[in-house]
A and B are shown apart, each in its own frame.
Chain A
Amino acid sequence: MTAAGSQPPEELRRRGEVVEFPSPARSTDIALDELEIVYAFIYARVGNRADAEDLTQQVAMKAIPRLRENAPPSAIRGYLFATARSVLGAFWSVRLGLSESELREDLAMIPPAPVGSDDSGERARQILAGLSDNYRRVLELRFLHGYSLKEVAAEMKSTVGAVKVMQLRALRAAAKVRLDE
């Protein structure tokens, strides 16, 4: 067994005979690994890197100094996600004047999926499946395939103006699709 901070030989570690305590540097790594999941959770809701980075940083600054020694094992991730939920709520509230109750579904405390899994992708596909053919097509082309408005119009044999209106209506309709959690 090794003391905190020392480096156990790789062979012992592989054989499972070593318990390695987190050194200060190690606990930063643990925090960062947990924050990776928080980042993915936030990104899936704001859709851009700059806002996701700002909000993840806010979560870290708020939550980490307040995580206490001897906190229950389940607390770390739960605490970070509760903070992420609060930070996201404040973000939408400031930007769009939304109340937390309006965000309940969007910020539901779903168990975090492992990094690399595509839970939000599956959810989006379910939402699109609940739309009419035209609405689903316009959102698929625009968001999932990255088409420009002009390209969507050409694909759908329509005009840019009409596609713009259809995109608005399709997004409004998608926002009304309720999924079973």
Chain B
Amino acid sequence: MSEKPENRLERIVSDLMRGRRLKLRPKDAEEKEAIIMAARLAATRQGPQRMSPAFRQALGRQIDAMPRDGWVSRRTALVAGLGIAAGTVGGLLAGRGLEGPQTVAAKEIVPDGGEWFPVGTLEDFPIGTARQVRAGAIGAFVTRTDDSVLAVSSICSDLPCELWWDAKHSVLACPCHNKTFSTEGRSNEAYPLPPLDTVKVRITAEGRVEVFGI
């Protein structure tokens, strides 16, 4: 016998009010809006939250262990005012942190043990239009230029979000932060993001377009 909606929600509310993790079952999706609202209201009772000292300490250790390529520059920290003591900043800024944007070479995705996946014929790819395809686990945008094709990853190089083809502006757009890329994967921003990874693509003798995935 299936659980009544009011009982289902009470189970979730009861867990939330005891500070327990959200344990949801597939049928719970029927009350998704109510569940999201319950989580918000449960949070309200607790008031604004801070990390526990133990969690903050553990997170700090993880951050310390991360590859550190100057994730926050002196200039960024100073100009952003992130808790740094202010002082005679002007002269310092002139000396550092005003370098131009850096260009980074695109990486090619070549999965170990990968294979070629057919994604259509050449005619399926109108010139100048990026078409989203999947080669197993690899998502890509394939663009045709005359009789050749190129493919770039469908994941933004900056945030872990899937890009979409903005046909009006002929760009690949990231929904997470309004950044765009050309069909070749170059960032269109004044302060360029890293380029999109490239994906191997080929046209077979029979005119099929194939993408290397896994």
Give residues in A with beta carbon < 8 Å to B: 1, 4, 8, 13, 16-22, 24-25, 27-36, 39-40, 43-53, 56-57, 60-62, 64-79, 82-83, 85-86, 92, 95-98, 100, 102, 106, 113, 115-121, 123-124, 127, 139, 142-144, 146, 149, 164-165, 167-168, 171-172, 174-176
- Contact flag A52-B31 (CB < 8 Å), given A31-B72, A32-B56, A106-B36: no
Tell me whether B9 and A167 are in contact (CB under 8 A): yes
Over the window 16-56 of chain B, the binary record of Cβ atoms lying under 8 Å from chain A Cβ atoms (1 yes, 0 no) is 11011110100011011111111111111111111110011
Please indicate the chain A residues that have their CB under 8 angstroms from the CB of B191 in the complex.
Answer: 71-72
Please give the distance in Å from A163's CB to the nearest CB on chain B. 9
Tell me whether B176 and A118 are in contact (CB under 8 A): no
Tell me whether A118 and B177 are in contact (CB under 8 A): no
Q: Report Cα–Cα, A22/B82, bound state, in Å.
A: 10
Contact of A35 among B44, B59, B83, B159 (CB under 8 A): B59
Over the window 57-90 of chain B, the binary record of Cβ atoms lying under 8 Å from chain A Cβ atoms (1 yes, 0 no) is 0011011101111111111111110111111110
Q: Among the interface residues A56, A69, A113, A139, which one has the most CB atoms of the partner chain B within 10 A?
A: A69
On chain B, the number of residues with a Cβ less than 8 Å from chain A's Cβ atoms is 81
Please give the distance in Å from B139's CB to the nearest CB on chain A. 15
Please give the distance in Å from A143's CB to the nearest CB on chain B. 4
Query: What are 17 pairs between A and B in contact, CB < 8 Å?
Result: A20-B84, A45-B36, A49-B19, A60-B63, A69-B69, A72-B76, A86-B160, A96-B29, A106-B40, A121-B44, A121-B48, A124-B41, A143-B13, A143-B41, A167-B10, A168-B5, A172-B31
Please give the distance in Å from B211's CB to the nearest CB on chain A. 25
- When C-beta atoms are compared, the residue in chain B nearest to A57 turns out to be B59
Q: Report Cα–Cα, A123/B73, bound state, in Å.
A: 36
Interface: B2 (CB within 8 A): no
Please give the distance in Å from B98's CB to the nearest CB on chain A. 8
Q: Report Cα–Cα, A65/B66, bound state, in Å.
A: 7
Q: Which of B151-173 contact A (CB under 8 A)?
A: 158-161
Tell me whether A49 and B49 are in contact (CB under 8 A): yes
- Contact flag A30-B49 (CB < 8 Å), given A22-B77, A62-B160, A82-B176: no
- Contact flag A174-B37 (CB < 8 Å), given A22-B84, A69-B70: yes
Tell me whether B72 and A30 are in contact (CB under 8 A): yes
Please give the distance in Å from B130's CB to the nearest CB on chain A. 20
Interface: B120 (CB within 8 A): no
- Contact flag A144-B20 (CB < 8 Å), given A39-B51, A66-B158: no
Tell me whether A149 and B10 are in contact (CB under 8 A): yes
Please indicate the chain A residues that have their CB under 8 angstroms from the CB of B16 in the complex.
Answer: 47-48
Tell me whether B43 and A46 are in contact (CB under 8 A): yes
Please indicate the chain B residues that have their CB under 8 angstroms from the CB of A176 in the complex.
Answer: 33
